[in-house]
Amino acid sequence: MSDNNSDPRVTVVIPVRNESRFIDRCLQSVFSADPVLGGMEVLVVDGMSDDGTRQILDDWHRRQPNLRVLDNPQRITPTAMNIGVRAARGKWIMIVGAHCEYPADYFRRCLETSQRTNADNIGGGLITLSEANGVEGKLVRALTTHRFGVGNAGCRIGASEGWADTVAYSCYRREVFERIGFYDERLVRNQDYELNRRLAKAGGSIWHSPDITARYYNQGSLKGLFHQAFGTGQWNTWMWYIAPYSFAWRHAVPLAFVMALLSVVLLFFASPSLGLSALTLILLPYFVLACLSSLQQSLRHGIWMLPVLPLLFFAYHVAYGAGALWGIFQLCIKQSPVQLAVEPWPGAGSHRAWPRTNRVID
């Protein structure tokens, strides 16, 4: 990494809250990165951590003059991102996560790819690992690295180079935020996906490069993964409510699956035979796909997991779909967080078109 620069070319923003288990190795990878022409600054935005994270950051700050630590009194991710973006001095702003380690060429590749493609946002994929190395950690990894588990999200299952709807983490040109606004602080989750869909809606471009990867540490337990899935399902529906352009079919499939299962339960009361037929029609193809996917993952990660993976795929999808259904219910009774919150800025959601131009940043 280059020496301190009063006008750095790149700003790296890292939102954190209680990340004492991860932040040290994250920063170690960031400050071990290849030098970036023009300089790079690192902004860590701390959500008032109380687990020792701040002490680790203070120690890094004493050693690295390019590191600034900013406070985030709201303690939520989108606010942290916006604090970092507003404080950034670079012409490129890279939003990264504390749960990751970055290869030495990560930031250099992002910058080079942005210059080569002239895209508004650049990113890559994740090499998904687990917080834990035991049985549950390996199962979590198997569930979240297969198309059957997470859909066609290229940043998680791998995709070829080209235009995309979203990427893992992001390298934005600074002007993106000047054109379409900041992260929507009503969205405690999914704020990055919404911003990318808003960018696309405004005529901007997103480029995925398989050469840009980060090592991501996922949940360490099945309970944590299912809890995360339920919450993500909720926030998907709330995101659709305030930003309909963010809708994606891959996010809605688990919801449709759970609604179909609930419909079968109701059908049983009217006609048990019809209910059984409908249940077979739904679950038979599902578990055929689940078993085939489980076989593929078992051959990659350990044949011992083959008997349990089909049921875990089922539980994962049900948790996701149930969360989405619960989110819709809360919308119906007007008790969702996004309905109770105020707009993050005047006119949020009414974004003007952004015609494409050939932009070059020196």
The string of pLDDT tens digits covering residues 72-123 is 999 999 999 999 999 999 999 999 999 999 999 999 999 999 999 999 999 9
If you average pLDDT over residues 141-166, what whole number do you get? Answer: 81
Task: Please name the residue that has the structure tokens 């809605």.
Answer: 252
Residue 250, Cβ neighbours under 10 Å: how many?
12
Residue 298 backbone dihedrals phi, psi, to 5 degrees: -65, -35
Q: What is the pLDDT of residues 301-360, one digit of tens each?
A: 999 999 999 999 999 999 999 999 999 999 999 999 998 887 766 656 544 333 333 333
Burial class for 326, CB neighbours closer than 10 Å (0-12, 13-18, 19+): middle
Per-residue pLDDT tens over the stretch 28-78: 999 999 988 789 999 999 999 999 999 999 999 999 989 999 999 999 999
Domains of the chain: 10-220 (3.90.550.10), 246-340 (no CATH)
Q: Which of 88, 108, 84 is nearest to 35 (CA)?
A: 108
Residue 133: phi and psi, rounded to 5, are -100, 5
DSSP conformation class of 353? P
